[in-house]
């Protein structure tokens, strides 16, 4: 019997066989361990419905963040979006338990926070799918995430999904209200890779760090970022790959593109981390 562990897993994107293999590799026990999936559970891979069912079966031992592909599924399921040419969501949309799967998904999280360690060794672990705007503190991020979660779980979900899409406003302003405010929060938490020093988001570039467009930088390298004292774990950025530094843990290692599915095992402190990965048999051309 192993000791209780916290595992963070990057973008699964419908690769259920790889997820099972990774859980077997880490000997995950729902009665003992805690799992956080960092978003994009579905789409592009072959078995999105199986992934959702597998995570559901883990009950309270598993916590899931919502990524852009998960929100896209909610949009399609509620008629706010059309399925794209490369979407692989039919296994959910045509499933007999479609209603239960969609309802479960909309009750998942936009951000999660956990205090790891004790005494002077304790630290803050903030988990999001994509990124955090440089002006936001850890407390801000959790408050703004909860604003979106409330709408996702409420009766106005359909209306919200109709207005969720778009790249504007590109910058946070505390005075924003309504759909514009929610859109900025969603875009930061589920789509962000690059922004400028003043927090203006850029959504066209998907390259690694070396491919930053002029005037922009990776969100986590903005000087004076308000969350720099925390460790932020995220997925979303497969061209960035695995990055582990004191303030950062990047976990999307491109499983669905023929890479690996990665887990981070967090030890007694945030400095204690182990990288576990399994190869993914599912390969698509990226794009």
What is the residue-wise DSSP string for 119-163? GGG-EEEEE-SS---TT--HHHHHHHHHHHHHHHHSTTHHHHHHH
Residue 287 has pLDDT above 90, yes or no: no
Q: Rounded to two decimals, what is the model's pTM?
A: 0.96
Residue 143 has pLDDT above 90, yes or no: yes
DSSP-based three-state secondary structure for 278 = strand
Residue 90 backbone dihedrals phi, psi, to 5 degrees: -60, -35
Tell me the C-alpha distance between 279 and 258, whole Å: 8
Q: In the chain, what are the domains?
A: 6-279 (3.60.21.10)
Instruction: Give yes or no for a contact between 261 and 65, defined as CB atoms under 8 angstroms apart.
Output: no
pLDDT of 187 reads 98
Q: Residue 244 — pLDDT band, cuts 50, 70, 90? A: very high
Instruction: Give yes or no for a contact between 67 and 11, defined as CB atoms under 8 angstroms apart.
Output: yes
Q: What is the DSSP letter of 281?
A: S
How many helical (H) and strand (E) elements, i.e. helices and strands, does the chain have? 8, 13
pLDDT of 211 reads 84
For the chain, the straight-line distance linking the first and the last C-alpha, in angstroms and rounded, comes to: 43
CA dihedral 276, 278, 283, 286 (to 10 degrees): 10
Lowest mean pLDDT among 107-121, 196-210, 231-245: 196-210
| pLDDT tens by residue, 206-220 | 888 888 999 999 999
Instruction: Give yes or no for a contact between 264 and 283, defined as CB atoms under 8 angstroms apart.
Output: no
């Amino acid at each position: 019997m192993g000791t209780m562990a916290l595992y963070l897993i990057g973008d699964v994107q419908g690769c259920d066989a790889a997820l099972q293999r990774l859980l077997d590799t880490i000997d995950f026990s729902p009665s003992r361990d805690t799992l956080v999936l960092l978003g994009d559970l579905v789409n592009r891979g072959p078995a999105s419905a199986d992934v959702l069912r597998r995570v559901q079966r883990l009950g309270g031992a598993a916590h899931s963040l919502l990524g852009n592909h998960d929100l896209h599924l909610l949009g399609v399921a509620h008629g706010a979006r059309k399925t794209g040419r490369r979407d692989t969501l039919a296994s959910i949309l045509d499933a007999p338990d479609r209603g239960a799967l969609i309802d479960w998904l909309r009750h998942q999280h936009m951000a999660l926070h956990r205090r790891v360690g004790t005494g002077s060794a304790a630290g803050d672990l903030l988990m999001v799918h994509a990124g955090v705007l440089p002006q936001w503190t850890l407390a801000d991020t959790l408050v703004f995430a909860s604003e979106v979660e409330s709408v996702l779980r409420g009766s106005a979900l359909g209306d919200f999904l109709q207005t969720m899409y778009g790249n504007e406003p590109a910058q946070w302003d505390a005075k924003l209200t309504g759909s514009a405010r929610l859109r900025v929060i969603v875009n930061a938490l589920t789509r962000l890779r690059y922004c400028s020093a003043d927090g203006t988001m850029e959504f066209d570039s998907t390259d690694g760090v070396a491919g930053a467009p002029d005037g922009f930088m990776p969100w986590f390298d903005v000087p004076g970022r308000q969350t720099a004292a925390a460790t932020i774990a995220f997925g979303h950025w497969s061209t960035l790959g695995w990055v582990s530094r004191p303030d950062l843990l990047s976990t999307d290692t491109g499983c669905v593109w023929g890479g690996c599915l990665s887990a981070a095992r967090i030890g007694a402190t945030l400095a204690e981390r182990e990288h576990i990965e399994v190869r993914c048999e599912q390969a698509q051309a990226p794009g």
